Structure 1
Amino acid sequence: METTEKQGDLLDKEKRLLHYDILRILAAYLIVMLHLSVQYINKAPDSVEGYLQWQQAVKFSAASRVGVPLFVMLSGAFLLHSDKEVSLSAIFKKYLPKLIIIFVCWSFFYSLAEQNFFYHVPQWGFSRSWQAVEWKVFWPYFIQGHYHMWYLYMLAGLYLITPLLKHIAAQASRTQLIYFVLMCVLVTAVTKMNEVLWHLKIVDMFLEKLSLGFFLGYIGYFLAGFLFRQHRFGWKLSLVVFALALEAFRFTYQETWRMNPMFGFREPSLIYFSNYSPTIFFMSFGVFLLFAKLDFLKPPKPIQQGIACLPQYLLTVYLLHPFIIDWCRRLDWLFPTVQANSLPINGVIVFAVSLGVSIILVQLYRLPVRLIRLVFRTPKC
């Protein structure tokens, strides 16, 4: 009877948090689309038709920029919640060691991939391909990690301050948390905009003297995730957030168009596409708050089970998808980039392939673990 009750409680919890599982899946897809969009928007079009397609691709790319912030907000929503115990001991014995192992394994993989190791193995064989690796190039690349693995470094930094942030989150009122998040948006956005756009020495002077570095970076997203999950927002305040998000999206793509007129650039200026841009902050807040309010969703049970099982594979999808993008291009599985509407379709293709391969990889990893547990399982008396 007790076991049945526990299973029922778990099912209720899964139903209650299903909206966050859907948000995780959406965020992973958006990150895939973001990295695919580079080929669509980073080259100046050479015709009027090409420029119109470029403008449409900028819209898709702008929408995809919320993917990483949503993942950071989801981490904050759960790690900072009161039902999650995150002690200093757990950070250094569980979270950071796991992150280091993931980084080492995947950075080794991508350091080989960068030198076309996996492409050469079928042609040359493993031994010759291994001998062809340039180790002087390999090790600096390994330490830095592939371009998308900056996320693991950033996540490690957030882990280090999570025990302190949990105390802030537990004691602060909703008003104080909103103030904290807005301070993060303000300090981060002003610092970023002055660095890449304004170049005002007086702003640099004030920022240096105020010493508000604690509010810089992704900490605002991290705490915002907790804020939107923990505190109920009425519809009036929610509508303000949604309106800001929509206006931020419109401003992002229209201002990008304005800064990059037809035949007026070689490489586009994408200042407002940064995760530190105020527009990306507000777009991310709007999307997260929308899904936080979808806790009433109750699709059929098979769909619930399907959605609930996917998030466990999404970190692998994130780590794997740049490699899948490269191979899909080599195999000519993707639609041409001349039409902007192919971007979300290519995103679906790469996401689906990445998810399928990730499921296989995770199951292959779990199989020996299960066998070891089966062999050494203590029989019940």
Structure 2
Amino acid sequence: MNKRRIIWIELLRICACIGVIGIHVASQHFHDMPVNTSVWAVSNFYHGINRYAVACFVMISGGLYLDRKRTWNIKKLWTHSILPIAVAYIFWQVFYALYRSLTDEGLKFGTVAFFKRFLVMISDPYFHLWYLPMLIGLLIITPMLWEIVNSKNGKQWEEYMILLYLIFKILPYTVKVFPIPCKEHVMNVLNTVQPQMVTGFVGYYIAGHYLYQYGVSKKLEKLIYILGIVSISMGILFCYIRSQQKGTDIQDFYENYTLAAFFWGISVFLFFKNYVSKIKWNDKQEKRICFVGSCTFGIFLIHVLVRSLLHKAGIDSMMISNTFIAIPIVIALIFTLSFGAVVIIKKIPVLKKWIV
């Protein structure tokens, strides 16, 4: 039995990784297909139901890094936790900048235009790599958060901070996307206080620790499940309706800071904690789960490259006429190939420590 890793956490980590891939597969033709087509409607559906992924990733980190059993050493935090993430970010940022520059048919390698384009791409996080600087920001303030949530009144402080996060971050972002009367004035009132806590994800980070440490009552748990399912369903529906009205793709109703993503993410986290955790696994199964879980960071980093290469080979969410079936197939294929690539990289001494 693996004593250092918690199996339901590893399974949730794997599920969240699949969810991120699901978002990116669903988005392949989300912006270039007419919104009145079935392909777009299916993409919108998969785009929405996988929105638990980022919230769950952050909540997992919060649950583990803010655990009261941890002791924090600033030097160790920077050298063992932050530095590897920073190195991985720099490596993959440069890698993807070079890859995109080399595959741009309008650029010739070695020219001034190529070099300028390469530098521009390095300066701006590639579309999935934003998560790493955000996580670094959370880790930087983790020792301070740890002292707060593990103090004598830690539980009350967490409830207070989660409530503030819901009021000042989640609610204004959700209200912003609805066409309400006097919207500008309402938003001005809601944004009177704007506590931008590092990255905007600190509420999920603290919520993860709170749910991991204390959980919720059965009554509240049922309510959260209802809110999660209803809110994400309504988010998908509202995106579809608004997109038909505007004639362009809209995903505002289920993005990371909406009530839909908030309650949907918490619902998935609670389900794994309270139900998936009760599944019994033998030692061999636990070992395999933990190994796959340990590869999810690398899979997250490399899956965009795999997606791009498959797309160039004609394998994407529109490879067959039935997009509803095509998307899960492509998700599974990208996950499997990315996992295989990470397993190979993990056999290379230096690379396994710093880039996956």
Which interval holds the TM-score relative to the shorter structure? 0.7 to 0.9
Q: Is 1:360 aligned with 2:344?
A: yes
Q: Does the aligned pair in 1 maintain the 2:228–2:264 contact within 8 Å?
A: yes
Match of 2:270 in 1: 289
Contact in 1 for aligned 2:310/2:316 (Cα 8 Å):
yes
Structure 2 counterpart of 1:305, one-letter code: K
Match of 1:30 among 10, 19, 23: 19
- 2:249 matched to 1:268? yes
Q: Which amino acid aligns with 2:117?
A: V
TM-superposed deviation, 1:297: 1.6
Partners of 2:252 and 2:351 in 1: CA distance: 46
RMSD: 2.7
What pairs with 1:341-380 in structure 2 (closer than 5 Å)? 341=324, 342-365=326-349
> Using the alignment, how far apart are the partners of 2:54 and 2:242 within structure 1?
25
Q: Which runs of 5+ in 2 are unaligned?
A: none
Match status 1:42 vs 2:23: no
Name which one, 1 or 2, has greater alpha-carbon Rg. 1
Q: Distance in 1 between matches of 2:304 and 2:280?
A: 34
- Whichever residue aligns with residue 85 of structure 2, its letter is L
Deviation at 1:43, TM superposition (A): 3.6
Q: CA-to-partner distance for each residue in 1:46-77, whole Å, 9 max, x for gaps?
A: 76xx33x4333322210111111111111101
Correspondences of 1:183-202 after superposition (within 5 Å): 183-193=164-174, 195-197=176-178, 200-202=183-185
TM-score for the superposition, normalised by structure 1: 0.82
Question: What corresponds to 1:19 in structure 2?
Answer: 8
Cα deviation digits, residues 121-156 of structure 1 (max 9, x gap):
xxxxxxx95679811111221122311111111111
Between the aligned residues of both structures, percent identity stands at 20
**Alignment match, 1:158:** 138
Q: CA deviation at 1:323?
A: 0.7
Richer in helix (by share)? 1
Distance 1:151 1:55, change over 3 A: same
Aligned to 2:88: 102
Could you tell me which of 152, 159, 169 is aligned with 1:178?
A: 159
Residues 44, 26 of structure 1: CA spacing in aligned structure 2 closer, same or farther, 3 A cutoff?
same
Between the aligned partners of 2:193 and 2:35, the Cα distance in structure 1 is 46
**What is the CA–CA distance in structure 1 between the aligned matches of 2:9 and 2:352, rounded to whole Å?**
31
Unaligned 5+ segments in structure 1 are 1-9, 121-127, 370-381
Aligned-partner Cα distance in 2 for 1:368–1:313 = 10
* Partner AA of 1:210 in structure 2: V
The question of 1:238 aligning with 2:227 is answered: no
Q: Are residues 304 and 112 of structure 1, via their aligned partners in 2, closer, same or farther at CA, if it must alter by over 3 Å?
A: same
Name the residue aligned to 1:307: 289
CA contact (8 A) 1:317 1:354 kept: yes
Query: Shift of the alpha carbon at 1:236?
Result: 1.7
- Give 1:193 shift: 3.7
Measured against aligned partners, the alpha-carbon deviations of 1:151-173 in whole angstroms (never above 9, x if no partner) come to 11111111111111111211245
Closer, same or farther: CA 250–211 of 1 in aligned 2, 3 Å? closer
Query: Structure 1's 240 and 216: CA in aligned 2 closer, same or farther, altered over 3 A?
Result: farther
Moved more, 18-27 or 173-182: 173-182
CA distance in 2, matches of 1:356, 1:26: 17
Instruction: Quote how far apart the aligned CAs of 1:44 are.
Output: 4.3
Q: 1:88-119 CA deviation, whole Å, 9 max, x = no partner?
A: 333333333222211111111111111136x9
Task: Supply the distance in 1 between the matched residues of 2:212 and 2:233 (Cα, whole angstroms).
Answer: 26
Q: CA deviation at 1:196?
A: 4.9
Quick check: 1:86 aligned with 2:72? yes
Q: 1:164-208 CA distances to partner (integer Å, 9 max, x unpaired)?
A: 111121124545423321321221123324555558343444355
